[in-house]
Structure 1
Amino acid sequence: MSVKFTETVLRDGQQSLIATRLKIEDILPIITKLDQAGYYALEVWGGATFDSCMRFLNEDPWERLRKIRKEVKQTKLQMLLRGQNILGYKHYPDDVLERFIKKSVENGIDVIRIFDALNDIRNMEKAVEFTKKYGAEAQGSIVYTTSPIHNSETFVKKAKILAERGIESLCIKDMAGLLTPFKAFDLVKKLKSEINLPVEIHSHNTAGFAFMTYLKAVEAGVDIIDTAISAFSSGTAQPTTETMAAVLKNSEFDASLNAKILEEVGEYFREIRNKYQDYLGSYEVDPRIITNQLPGGMLSNLRNQLREQNQLDRYEEILEEIPKVRKDLGYPPLVTPTSQIVGTQAVFNIVTGKRYGFVSKEFKNYLRGMYGRPPGEIKPELIEKTINKEEVITNRPADNLEPAYEKAAAEIKNISSREEDILSYILFPEVAEKFLKEHR
């Protein structure tokens, strides 16, 4: 069976290697070529691209999506959605989630990859339901991680529940590049025998495994692989599109991508990359990720932030502290927003010299259960020391939230009444308000 390719250069490739700074003016000249290359899908939206558009690029993320959709005629457009967190860093009520998904589909999205940082399926159910309601493909994700409490069986169990909830495809989301080749083979085999759905694999080459991992996943029957065009691939990004296409060529898995077009696209992005030297992350393989587990995009951002604060010399200490904080929190997978919560706390612990002397509001909310059910037990003394035990919730966090759309619409009625703008404002109030005041 031929294996399909999803191209990530416009979302995760550039998010992982140039801190999400790729401008629409550098996307549009090459988008038709990408559309003609023979991909199954182009990942173009979601993740950190949404807020980066307004925060750093002075672009409207919705307008960006519409411009891409206008040019892409034969390839599906895909986005990454953080379940009930949508594209923000906290949970939002169902009325906001539904409107956001509806608008994403109306503006051009075909496939929505839905994940929850804690693999708490309660936080994904509504996103799956709304995605299907508005006619896009609902791709459920299992966030891959390693710990004493995670194994193939735990992931397969989650996948089966997602299949029961109506997902139309499944993604193994290995955001830190921790999935080793033989474990991938084992996991894909088990998934394919238990669920009758297309399975996609998404990994990063941070630890150096991902090319081999993809090959073993393909041998085990994976249907789709996520790759990035050479200029924005490997290191903390995905395996290289041209390389994987060449690996599978003339085999039973050959995807028949257009090699000449891929060459042109690669050449284009090599030129473009020169404009973004200030943000360029690491192409190095870093096996330390096996211990600290930080996802690709976060590593480059952490280095940038520490550099700006003249604390780059503490980078190694912080990397050592991250797994300790993660253990204390019950081994959450490290992906937005838990990677930020754990990473930020590790920074506080090292820079202040006192563990948990200072904790963020998000850290307290995690302890309260406001992000969902942690995979393992939180260290009891951490809860006692930091919050009131009575504050801990055990139900689906979004059930405790009041509808928010109408209130937000009233708050910015003098700036904009456009539904997309109101949604941008709900997710990123300060950033969006500033942006909308300048542009509306």
Structure 2
Amino acid sequence: FHTVDYFVQLTKEMANLGADSICIKDMAGVLTPGTGFELVSRMKDAVDLPLQVHTHATSGISEMTYLKVAEAGADIIDTAISSFAGGTSQPATESVAIALAGLGYETGLDLDKLEKIANHFNPVRDRFRKEGLLNPKVKDTEPKTLIYQVPGGMLSNLLSQLTEQGLADRYDEVLQEVPKVRADLGYPPLVTPLSQMVGTQALMNVISGERYKMVPKEIKDYVKGLYGKPPVAIEPEIVTLIIGDEPVSTLRPADLLAPEMPGFETAIAKYAKSTEDVLSYAVFPKQAEDFLGRREDPFYDVPLQEVTVSLAVD
């Protein structure tokens, strides 16, 4: 379903809707160099908009893909400073810049400044590793992402779930089930939260020994239409298998939610100065109130101190 023709047509539709730029987001790191070249070439021919490519180094082919999309005319590519590059992150900025410069591309990047940035963040990376906040495994290369078209974060999550249940030996079975579940559900994009939902359903299918014998509430809500319209219509027999004869909504899911902005505006009125402030509070109530409060009150987070007063009486 997700063919080059599909994405070229989608690009035209976005341009007609008034898009200012287009970004190809390859969160799983599965865009191969050849497909990347064809995709970017045809999209650049189809629309006159800046085109950005975002991929991850999980599968080990990201640098080759970036070279080919640059040759095809991509205007922007996403990279990460070397301190945090590779694995589930992006290719290293410095390395890609040097390679492209050697091929005649003008990146506009100052390598001396990039080195200073890396020197600043290298100790931060090392500290995060020492404290256990940065797992070294996130830097691993995982070619299976190319076989199963599964994002790296989803792979590690599945392995963790299986290991906790003493079923790590069934990892490959679950990976083989993931694309089948994705097809059953109308080929949703494997990005949060759908990647976790599809992965969990594949896990349940394998563990239970019967497909869709156990179905999480989130998958049922998705099939009911509460996450929006799937890219491809779900087959009626799959719908019945998952939700029985319950109705499928064709409404815009957000139309089913009650308006909440007035309540948020009232709750944070003491500190909010803009819509952005209210939205920050809506998404992260505790953190936003703390930040906005400190912004307004210089003594907001100053601890009270005990003061002892001595009186001398003649």
Shorter-chain TM-score tier: 0.7 to 0.9
Distance (Å, rounded) in 2 between the aligned partners of 1:403 and 1:389: 30
Counterpart in 1 of 2:219?
363
| Equivalent residue letter for 1:322 | V
2:255 to 399, 408, 419: 399
1:158 to 3, 7, 10: 10
* Alignment map for 1:198-347 (pairs within 5 Å): 198-277=50-129, 278=132, 279-280=134-135, 281-303=137-159, 312-347=168-203
Q: Which runs of 5+ in 2 are unaligned?
A: 294-314
Distance (Å, rounded) in 2 between the aligned partners of 1:424 and 1:388: 39
1:186 to 14, 23, 38: 38
Contact residue 169 and residue 197 of structure 1 kept, 8 A = yes
SS in 1 for 2:52: strand
Structure with the larger RCO, 1 or 2 (CA within 8 Å, 6+ apart): 1
| Equivalent residue letter for 1:374 | P
Change (3 A) 1:354 1:408: farther
SS in 1 for 2:138: coil
Change (3 A) 1:155 1:368: same
Question: 1:377 Cα shift?
Answer: 3.2
| Equivalent residue letter for 2:226 | M
Moved more, 334-343 or 295-304: 295-304
Contact residue 268 and residue 281 of structure 2 kept, 8 A = no
TM-score (norm 1): 0.58
Distance (Å, rounded) in 1 between the aligned partners of 2:176 and 2:265: 44
| Equivalent residue letter for 1:210 | S
Contact residue 330 and residue 376 of structure 1 kept, 8 A = yes
SS in 1 for 2:140: coil
SS in 2 for 1:331: coil
* Alignment map for 1:105-124 (pairs within 5 Å): none
1:176 to 2, 10, 28: 28
Distance (Å, rounded) in 1 between the aligned partners of 2:279 and 2:162: 31
Q: Which runs of 5+ in 1 are unaligned?
A: 1-148
Change (3 A) 1:368 1:425: farther
Change (3 A) 1:300 1:380: same
Which structure's residues are more often strand, by fraction? 1
Moved more, 191-200 or 268-277: 268-277
Contact residue 145 and residue 152 of structure 2 kept, 8 A = no
Question: 1:152 Cα shift?
Answer: 0.7
SS in 2 for 1:150: coil
Question: 1:403 Cα shift?
Answer: 2.0
Distance (Å, rounded) in 1 between the aligned partners of 2:15 and 2:40: 15
SS in 1 for 2:39: helix
Change (3 A) 1:311 1:272: farther
SS in 2 for 1:323: helix
Question: 1:260 Cα shift?
Answer: 1.5
Distance (Å, rounded) in 2 between the aligned partners of 1:370 and 1:382: 16
Matched length: 286
